[in-house]
Amino acid sequence: MKILIPVLAIALLFSCQNRAQISSKQLDVIKANPTEVLIQDGLARAYFASGCFWCVEAIYESIKGVKESISGYSGGFTDNPTYELSNTGKTGHAEAVEIIYDPKLVSFSTLVDVYFGSQNVTQVNGQGNDRGSQYRSILFYQNEEQKQIILEKKAALSKSLNVEIAAEVYPFQKFWIAEDYHQDYERLHPDNSYIRNVSVPRLKRFQKKFPEFLKDGH
């Protein structure tokens, strides 16, 4: 089993067409054992990367059972990543979100459904015009149960749509909180052109398709 798990992880990464070369440092991240974040005060945490974190943060904060969504960086091999450094594509990190949620109100499985339901599942290294490894799609698992949920849903979606799903699957290691000015960006900057033309339309498309997931008033 210790041999098979790294092989599976590498295969998942290479399933996307853009993986021509992977550094040894990135392979160490892919093959690492996952870190599990304990439930505190009845709240659990989940981690996802799906393009611009401004967009993803707003989507998850509209979901019943989600208390907060925080923008940051994960999936890389450098310490203390910043927005400027992650944008170089040389840190291995992707823009990610930390979802703080009540598992009694919303399950990890549902959060994965939200993930796939709110993105272009076939786009490699980006979402929309946000392109580059820092915008790639990654689902992070903290234990074997979460890993199986992700893999089964990814496989089922691929089969039903008859397409290759671009999202990678990583063991969760560490989440680095992004700079303060990135937090709640969509809510605090409604007149920003990116928010009006990209983030809000993406949120509305998701809300129209999945009203059953939404908090009252969304």
For β-strands 66-74 and 94-101, DSSP reports them as: antiparallel
The whole-number pLDDT of residue 28 equals 87
Q: What is the pLDDT of residues 104-126, one digit of tens each?
A: 999 999 999 999 999 999 999 99
Q: Which residues contact 123 (CB under 8 A, 6 or more apart)?
A: 137, 166
The CATH architecture that domain 4-213 belongs to is: 2-Layer Sandwich (3.30)
- Tell me which residue has tokens 């599990």: 36
Token pair for 31: 């093959």
Angstrom distance (rounded) from CA 106 to CA 100: 11
Q: What is the pLDDT of residues 151-164, one digit of tens each?
A: 999 999 999 999 99
Q: Where are the domains of the chain?
A: 4-213
Q: What is the pLDDT of residues 55-78, one digit of tens each?
A: 999 999 999 999 999 999 999 999
Q: What is the pLDDT of residues 198-209, one digit of tens each?
A: 999 999 999 999
| Catalytic-labelled residue, pool 12, 30, 49, 52 | 52
> 125 phi and psi, to 5 degrees?
55, 50
Element (H, E) at 141: strand 137-141
How large is the average pLDDT for residues 38-53? 97
For β-strands 168-171 and 137-141, DSSP reports them as: parallel
- For the question of residue 16 being annotated catalytic, the response is no
Q: What is the pLDDT of residues 75-105, one digit of tens each?
A: 999 999 999 999 998 899 999 999 999 999 9
Q: What's the pLDDT band for 21 if we cut at 50, 70, 90?
A: low
Angle at 128 between CA 85 and CA 22, to 5 degrees: 45
Angstrom distance (rounded) from CA 13 to CA 18: 10
Helix axes 53-61, 200-209, angle to 10 degrees: 40
**Whether the model pTM is above 0.85:** yes
Angstrom distance (rounded) from CA 174 to CA 158: 28
Q: What is the mean pLDDT of the chain?
A: 91
